Structure 1
Amino acid sequence: MTQYDPMRPTGRPLPQASALPYTRSRQLPPYRGLVAVDAKDFTGHPAIEHGVISRAVPELLERSFERADLAHVWADRRFPASTGDGYIFGFDPTWMPFLIHPWLHTLQDELAKFNVYSAGAVHTRLRVSLHIGPLPDTGDEFDGNGTPRNDTHRLLDSRPVKAVLAASSESITHVAAILSDRCYQDAVASGYTGRHPDHFIEVPATVEGKKFDQRAWLYVPTPSGNLYDRRILGDRVVDEHENVRGRAEPTEGEPDTGRVKSRVARTRITQQADRGIINTGTVHGGQSVTNSGRDSVGGDWVGGDRFEGDYVGGDRLDIAGDYVGGNRAGTVTGNQGDTVRGNKREKRR
């Protein structure tokens, strides 16, 4: 049996087969900000235009960084790489608030001008993802690889940012950005970014065919169309926004970041008014119930109907001899019922 030789014939050692995770503690790699961009409908352009777009993307990025007074971020970018229809690189994360604003807005302006001057020949719109995480950065050609980089690409391909760009006007909205939750919490919720948290929309970031589901935040520098769309935000997020009727007070020790927080517990229940009417809105005029049955009171029984809905809070109320039960979310005016004297079975005149 031939003994294993760790040296190649050239004298160079073989690369390590594994980093041997979970075997010993090591220092974390340095934290890096990550920005990735991707051109919308790149494959939808004729093949002859692919090279033009691939060259235009980094040129647009460089010009936008210069205009935003962030030329040094572009000059000092780490492990840059073209993806054909996009671009990705790492940078010092202390500059992340400035990439969120004003850079994204500046990029929007640069693309708007580019698309006008290109006369529609190479109309380019960009998705942008921003993330923060530890990545190897030693100057090696394989630097920048790791979970944060993978997640940056997943965010870029996620359903919400693709849908928001598709649902907006191609003549107005040229950039749609998605921030990882870590990026949002560190740079936006903390107050370091020159944009209020209400400019950002929380979304569940998922990628079709991939095991990826993370909390993320949409930001569109120049919005158009209907951003508040269930197809974009998802039913869960829309329901939470629809139930917010004010801002929740921050808990003790929690900074007031201005974020809208929904603390409404939604419970699906069945309400029943056996002897009256359920009112959930404003009622003007008279109401009556014509149901018959048996009861121990007066020999007659008036039965109501079943109503299904969301419970907000209500009280029992006896008005004019009739029973009103369930939800009184609105204002009730007018005659709630009739006072009946004599035989209830007798036809009223």
Structure 2
Amino acid sequence: MSSPIPAPYAESRPLPPYRALFAVDAKDFTGLPALQHGPVSQLIPELVDQALERAGLPELRDSKRFLANTGDGVVFGFDPALLPFVLWPFLGVLDDTLGAYNKQCVGPRIRLRASVHVGPLPDAGGLGDGNGTPRNDTHRLLDSRPVKAILTAASEQVTHLAAVISQRVYEDVVLGAYTGLHPDRCVEVPATVEGKNFSQRAWLYVPSPSGNLVQAGVRPREESAVPDDTSAGREQDPAPSPGTHYSGNTQHVGEGAAVMGSVGRDVSYTGGSRTYHGTNQHWGGGDNVSGDKRVGGTGDGR
């Protein structure tokens, strides 16, 4: 017999342990032929485990909590003490692992969205382990419009992973300087999900941005985030990159993803060789991306 459902605010109870959460899902999974769903569903956790091993995190690979295969991805909990290492270097290693696979694969390319969050969740070896608001928010972040749009806008040849980091993780781990991921590599976005009552502040991190994203201000991993000594102590106006015009807090980009507002509150995409047509999606804070992507020839879906 199941346990009775507790009444909220009736009494005080011990807080469940804090668990970090990591989730990924595959871009365009639903567009694959049914024949490929099973193999791709099995492949994604294998690629994640390969990346954990290569990032020096075999203990995380072997100690996942409430692991679940979601069909087009995987989600699991883990010790929050490992969050700094998941943000850096694991996300970058996962991007490299996906890139290496995609270069040699004969089947569909695997490009992933990832989300990282933390919060109190039951974890006592029971059937309800891992269920709670932090788990729900992890999946909402994964499905949020900014991370979907940035992966769609980026080159499929270069950008294999786009990650969204919750505000709680960003404050505690990134701003706390416990990780090698510098804040300047993250872009603030309003994370909303169409048809869901969900809106949170979050941060995008793209380990290998393609040229249009770099033009918009998304830093590649190999670019130093620390200014050199010659520029210390004096203010300088940002030098616009070719084809980019800055006016106040707006970038007018001839081709690429435009990151506008405070550290990137609004993300929109326009371009010449990459074009979008259709009805705009409005992202709460004003972020827009137009429908059907076209890269030279055939379009890309989700």
Q: Normalising by the residue count of structure 2, what TM-score does the alignment of the two structures yield?
A: 0.71
- 1:186 is paired with a residue whose SS is helix
- 2:189 is paired with a residue whose SS is strand
Task: Give unpaired runs (5+ residues) of structure 2.
Answer: 217-250, 266-302
Q: d(CA) in 1 for partners of 2:78 and 2:262?
A: 35
Show the counterpart of 2:35.
Answer: 48
The C-alpha deviation readout for 1:219-240, integer Å capped at 9, x for no partner, is: 000011433389xxx99x7133
Amino acid at match of 1:89: F
Q: d(CA) in 1 for partners of 2:83 and 2:68?
A: 19
> RCO higher in 1 or 2 (8 Å CA, sep ≥ 6)?
2
The answer to whether residue 3 in structure 2 is matched with residue 16 in structure 1 is yes
Show the counterpart of 1:344.
Answer: none
Matching residue within 179, 194, 206 for 1:193: 179
Q: d(CA) in 2 for partners of 1:164 and 1:73?
A: 28
The C-alpha deviation readout for 1:211-264, integer Å capped at 9, x for no partner, is: 00000000000011433389xxx99x7133499xxxxxxxxxxxxxxxxxxxxx
Amino acid at match of 1:111: L
Contact 1:131/1:148 (8 A) holds in 2: yes
Show the counterpart of 2:261.
Answer: 239
The answer to whether residue 203 in structure 2 is matched with residue 217 in structure 1 is yes
Q: d(CA) in 1 for partners of 2:82 and 2:137?
A: 20
Q: What does 1:78-117 correspond to in 2, within 5 Å?
A: 78-117=65-104
The answer to whether residue 162 in structure 2 is matched with residue 140 in structure 1 is no
TM-superposed deviation, 1:18:
1.6
Contact 1:167/1:225 (8 A) holds in 2: no
Task: Note the aligned Cα RMSD (angstroms).
Answer: 1.9
TM-superposed deviation, 1:17:
4.3
Q: d(CA) in 2 for partners of 1:187 and 1:79?
A: 23
Q: d(CA) in 2 for partners of 1:147 and 1:41?
A: 27
Contact 2:187/2:263 (8 A) holds in 1: no
Contact 2:119/2:134 (8 A) holds in 1: yes
Amino acid at match of 1:159: R
Q: What does 1:297-312 correspond to in 2, within 5 Å?
A: none
The answer to whether residue 15 in structure 2 is matched with residue 28 in structure 1 is yes
The C-alpha deviation readout for 1:126-174, integer Å capped at 9, x for no partner, is: 0000000000000112200000000000000000000000000000000
Contact 1:42/1:50 (8 A) holds in 2: yes
Cα–Cα, structure 1 residues 62 and 240, in superposed 2: closer, same or farther, change >3 Å? closer
Contact 2:165/2:202 (8 A) holds in 1: yes
The answer to whether residue 25 in structure 2 is matched with residue 38 in structure 1 is yes
Q: d(CA) in 2 for partners of 1:224 and 1:166?
A: 11
Q: What does 1:55-70 correspond to in 2, within 5 Å?
A: 55-70=42-57
Q: What does 1:279-290 correspond to in 2, within 5 Å?
A: none
Q: Normalising by the residue count of structure 1, what TM-score does the alignment of the two structures yield?
A: 0.62
- 2:262 is paired with a residue whose SS is helix
Task: Give unpaired runs (5+ residues) of structure 1.
Answer: 1-13, 244-349
TM-superposed deviation, 1:52:
1.1
Cα–Cα, structure 1 residues 123 and 242, in superposed 2: closer, same or farther, change >3 Å? closer
- 1:63 is paired with a residue whose SS is helix
Q: d(CA) in 1 for partners of 2:132 and 2:143?
A: 17
Between the two proteins, the alignment pairs up a number of residues equal to 225
CA radius of gyration, larger in: 1
Percent identity over paired residues: 56
The answer to whether residue 40 in structure 2 is matched with residue 77 in structure 1 is no
Higher strand share: 2
